[in-house]
Structure 1
């Protein structure tokens, strides 16, 4: 790998299967067809992706929950049980801190390995944003609570942000995801301009980009732009990134 950027593989779950995310158009997502994994089974795909990236984290987007349905607790528990050394970053459309706490309780045996992702597209209010990170600041300083992250979501130049997260820099936690949905699965390249702006506003944060990675060169450019890590899926399934050796 030509970059020191940390790769975090992504599994998008829909009705118990892994699907391919393309430009945030969730109604058009279909079960994954992959050159890397001959399956859409979540545990199989997750294990192969994590091995390919030598990953210590796995990002899971529960698309059922993100679209207003029930969280796929059974599938999530299967992933956590099958990958005991992996920290799971979970985006399940959480509207507030209480929803996050309820989710932790449902996955209680694995709670110490779950980083809750609160997305700006899902948070219901500014008050909800204030309460999400007040205990740990998203740092995970409690050994039994690895904390949380804020995903700053946008699509086609528009912020998905009813709660005003993008402008509440003083409320940002120490882990930030820059999610440019139209770049996801598009092969259009990473949104480095937005990432650089977030990095400028939060120089001490861990900043994770999402969407658009096509090659090792893209990873190197993302690292130079200030990214600490990047969420990847399509580039792995399409064999655009070589296996990481540690």
Structure 2
């Protein structure tokens, strides 16, 4: 059976109103993106440019200031969500479900790096759950939480869509196939961190992943 090529989802990491280029997990070092394909680090400008060049219309957006507790980029994100013809996956640094603002063009991401309400009975079926890791270790404010525990809790609450975000390799092009979380048959998974080539996309397809969150490889022209 031929597997569908994983969907490329461009990453917009927003810090201080600018799209920034990731370099590993050290967000203090992230600077406004500079790449030959862009004339600006403005999020709206970059979305339009990606669409003009590659016809992308689905984007992953991370509000790095909200995630790290240093304000937020709600103005920039509202501008993005007001753009007709595009859809966005939004990591707004949510700690609990009541933090989520639902938008018809935005799918909220519940990320282990910030979310704490795993023992609630409320459904997660309308969200994407991001399993954030550093190597084999889960990144979470919940003491002693593990990848296995969080996956079990998310699945019990109806989660069917997931991201495996390997924060230690974002921006490095160090794709680590052996550390990918294996999807269950009825789930949709996206991989983030180190995806750099068509070969990596083929590996993701063989592993059962539906898509890849990509930034550096797009900046450098090694994808698409």
TM-score scaled to structure 1, two decimals?
0.81
Whether the 8 Å contact between 2:182 and 2:207 is mirrored in structure 1 is no
What corresponds to 1:49 in structure 2? Answer: 50
Shift of 1:38: 2.2
Note if 1:205 corresponds to 2:206: no
| Root mean square deviation of aligned Cα | 1.9
Q: Deviations over 1:112-158 (max 9, x none)?
A: 11100010010124325x43xx1xx42xxxxxxxx211000011332
State the Cα distance separating 1:74 from its structure 2 match: 1.2
Instruction: Point out the more displaced range, 231-240 or 30-39.
Output: 30-39
Encode CA deviations 1:85-138: one digit per residue, 9 max, x unaligned: 1111100110010011xx33xxxxxx111100010010124325x43xx1xx42
In structure 2, distance between residues paired with 1:170 and 1:207: 17
Q: Equivalent residues in 2 for 1:154-173 (5 A)? A: 154-163=133-142, 164=145, 166=147, 167-168=149-150, 169-172=152-155, 173=159
Q: Which residue of 2 aligns with 1:87?
A: 87
Deviation readout 1:182-210 (Å, 9 max, x if unpaired): 12110112x32333x331xx321101000
- The answer to whether residue 79 in structure 2 is matched with residue 96 in structure 1 is no
Determine helix, strand or coil for the equivalent of 2:19.
strand
In 2, Cα distance between the equivalents of 1:233 and 1:10? 5
Partner of 1:193: 178
Specify the alignment match of 1:122 in structure 2. 114
What is residue 65 of structure 1 aligned with on the other side? 66
Find 1:149's aligned residue among 114, 117, 128.
128
How far is 1:66 from its partner? 0.7
Gaps of 5+ in 1: 105-110, 139-146
**Alignment: residue pair count:** 215
What is the deviation of 1:55?
A: 2.5
CA distance in 1, matches of 2:75, 2:85: 19
Distance (whole Å) between structure 2 residues aligned to residue 176 and residue 4 of structure 1: 18
* Shift, 1:24, TM fit: 1.5
Q: Which structure has greater helix proportion? A: 1
Q: Which runs of 4+ in 1 moved over 6 A?
A: none
Give the equivalent residue in structure 1 for 2:11. 10
Q: Residues 176 and 7 of structure 1: is their aligned pair in 2 closer, same or farther, counting only changes over 3 Å?
A: same
SS in 2 for 1:45: helix
Deviation at 1:9, TM superposition (A): 0.7
Report how far residue 3 of structure 1 moved: 6.4
Q: Is the CA contact (8 Å cut-off) linking 2:137 and 2:146 kept in structure 1?
A: no
Does the aligned pair in 2 maintain the 1:9–1:53 contact within 8 Å?
no
SS of the residue aligned with 2:35? Answer: coil
Secondary structure at the counterpart of residue 182 of structure 2: helix
